[in-house]
Amino acid sequence: MIEANNPNLTSWIKVKADSDFPIQNLPFGIYREGSDSPKAATIIGDQVVNLDALQKLGFFSKMDLPSGIFAHTTLNGFIALGKPVTNAIRNRLSEIFRDGNAELRDNQEAKEAVLIDSDAVEMLMPVRVGDYTDFYSSEQHATNVGTMFRDPDNALLPNWKHIPVGYHGRASSIVVSGTDVTRPKGQTMEPEANKPSFGPTKRLDFELEMAFITGKVTELGDSISTDQADEYIFGFALFNDWSARDVQKWEYVPLGPFLAKNFASSVSPWIVTMEALEPFRTAGPVQDPEVLPYLKYSGDSHFDINLEVFIQPEGADETCVTRTNFKHMYWNVRQQLAHHTVNGCNINVGDMYASGTISGPTPDSYGSMLELAWKGTKPLLMPDGTERKFIHDGDRVSIRGYAERDSVRIGFGEVTNKIKPAK
């Protein structure tokens, strides 16, 4: 067991029982306090930890870190140091903040420089995303969509259980939680119309997803095997793949999503390391038919992560519209990365890969409004008495997620965005 994951560890920083950020988590992110420059941080409970201040105060003096590595505007430089370094930093943070260690706890001046209340900071994009890929890896989601739009008896296309389907998305429009999302415009074709129309989407949808971030570089022509994948995956975040369903329906044949997807995607600000999630590995669904050799894997390669989506109409209370779990995915992250690179596609530090919509086996565990309201035929009732077939202007959509085992809860915070009217 990784010592930083020890479920018996406690911190001298007070942590609520339902906090996403116990001492066993120690995720990484980028924050800004007031007009100060951005800094790298971790978080314990509701205390953001200024890693740059810790380095300047000498708490990492034995680790031979580059000067100012935590004063960058993204985590890319830190991640690029490699897992031997980033894991050592996480272990060192675990030492500094665990009960019984007085080196920072009893140094009031240092504590004031290092610890900040989480409500006093602005969280920023954690990484500079050079490339972004979105997968389509939930069998239930793919079956639901195929049932709605094609043949219910042949909902999955012939290739779906043989390859982790994906597409290359728009990296520049990925935004951090808290950023408003403007309703997109585009061409749509109404069912009874004889020509397309143009205007704001009438079917704005969320897609509940997880994302992983790579932390190593490969050369063009190299491939990553499923056995090697963990070496390349730095960590995970929550992800909302916003979709304009009416635009998507009109444009997706023959080449796939374009304007329906490129206007915005959003990500939670804290990256939870692969190592912090080790205790929550679990078996995935049986894959039948047997996959090709390069997609075979060994050991538990899925993760038991509870996921929820909330919708809050403007001026009203939020309501939970779905609860599901990341373990339901048919294709796991090892297979996704192996398939992504099997043709020699090179990857970089900070590249982001979204799981695809995560839908569970029951109607209350579907991962999109398209499914939950079943193309608008089963509207969801909100606390203010209004109905939702898709997302309205003024709605705030929040995705939250956590893993829990042995009385330890490892959470991701949330990714939350409010919808603004089209410009």
What pLDDT, on a 0 to 100 scale, did the predictor assign at position 62? 94
Nearest partner of 52 among 127, 103, 37, judged by Cα: 37
Other residues' Cβ atoms within 10 Å of the Cβ of residue 112: 10
* Residue 13 pLDDT exceeds 90: yes
Nearest partner of 232 among 337, 326, 353, judged by Cα: 337
Residues marked active site are found at: 141
Q: Within this chain, do residues 119 and 144 fall inside the same structural domain, yes or no? A: no
pTM above 0.95, yes or no: yes
Q: Within this chain, do residues 396 and 311 fall inside the same structural domain, yes or no? A: yes
Q: Which of 254-258, 322-326, 337-341 has the lowest mean pLDDT?
A: 254-258
33 is in which domain, residue-wise?
3-124
In angstroms, the Cα distances linking 330 to 143, 264, 334 are 12, 26, 12
Q: Within this chain, do residues 186 and 140 fall inside the same structural domain, yes or no? A: yes
Provide the CATH number for the domain around residue 409.
Answer: 3.90.850.10
Quote the percentage of the chain above a pLDDT of 70: 100
What pLDDT, on a 0 to 100 scale, did the predictor assign at position 405? 96
Average pLDDT value for residue range 331-359: 98
Q: Strands 387-388 and 302-303: what pairing? A: unpaired
Q: Within this chain, do residues 286 and 160 fall inside the same structural domain, yes or no? A: yes
Q: What is the dihedral of CA 51, 52, 58, 60, to 10 degrees?
A: 50
Strand order of the β-sheet with 115-117 is 115-117, 47-50, 39-44, 29-32, 122-124
Pick 192 or 353 by higher pLDDT. Answer: 353
Q: What share of the chain is helix, strand, coil (3-state, %, to 5)?
A: 25, 30, 50
Q: Which residues pair with 366 in a beta bridge?
A: none
**Could you tell me how far CA 405 lies from the centroid of its own chain?**
20
Average pLDDT value for residue range 64-76: 97
Average pLDDT value for residue range 327-345: 98
Q: Within this chain, do residues 98 and 208 fall inside the same structural domain, yes or no? A: no
Q: Which residues pair with 207 in a beta bridge?
A: 368
One-character DSSP codes across 366-405:
-SBHHHHTTTTTSPEEPTTS-EESSPPTT-EEEEEEEEEE
Residue partners of 192: CB distance under 8 A and separation at least 6 = none
Cα-Cα-Cα-Cα dihedral sign, residues 411, 394, 370, 372: positive
Q: Within this chain, do residues 113 and 136 fall inside the same structural domain, yes or no? A: no
What pLDDT, on a 0 to 100 scale, did the predictor assign at position 68? 98
What pLDDT, on a 0 to 100 scale, did the predictor assign at position 67? 97
Mean pLDDT value across the chain? 97
Over residues 207-248, the pLDDT tens digits come to 999 999 999 999 999 999 999 999 999 999 999 999 999 999
* Residue 1 pLDDT exceeds 90: no
- Cα–Cα distance, 334 to 295 (Å, whole number): 8
Q: Within this chain, do residues 183 and 219 fall inside the same structural domain, yes or no? A: yes
Is 55 buried (19+), middle (13-18) or exposed (0-12) by CB count in 10 A? Answer: buried
Q: Within this chain, do residues 223 and 75 fall inside the same structural domain, yes or no? A: no
Residue partners of 100: CB distance under 8 A and separation at least 6 = 12
Q: Within this chain, do residues 147 and 109 fall inside the same structural domain, yes or no? A: no
Phi, psi (rounded to 5 degrees) for 216: -135, 160
- Cα–Cα distance, 63 to 307 (Å, whole number): 36
Number of domains in the chain: 2
For residue 193 the two structure tokens come to 């119309």
* Residue 256 pLDDT exceeds 90: no
Nearest 5°: CA angle at 356, between 20 and 291? 115
Last residue of a domain, one of 124, 142, 169: 124
Q: Within this chain, do residues 120 and 137 fall inside the same structural domain, yes or no? A: no
Over residues 85-100, the pLDDT tens digits come to 999 999 999 999 999 9
* Residue 150 pLDDT exceeds 90: no
Q: Within this chain, do residues 136 and 50 fall inside the same structural domain, yes or no? A: no
Last residue of a domain, one of 124, 154, 176: 124
* Residue 117 pLDDT exceeds 90: yes
Last residue of a domain, one of 107, 124, 141: 124
Q: Within this chain, do residues 117 and 148 fall inside the same structural domain, yes or no? A: no
Is 236 buried (19+), middle (13-18) or exposed (0-12) by CB count in 10 A? Answer: buried
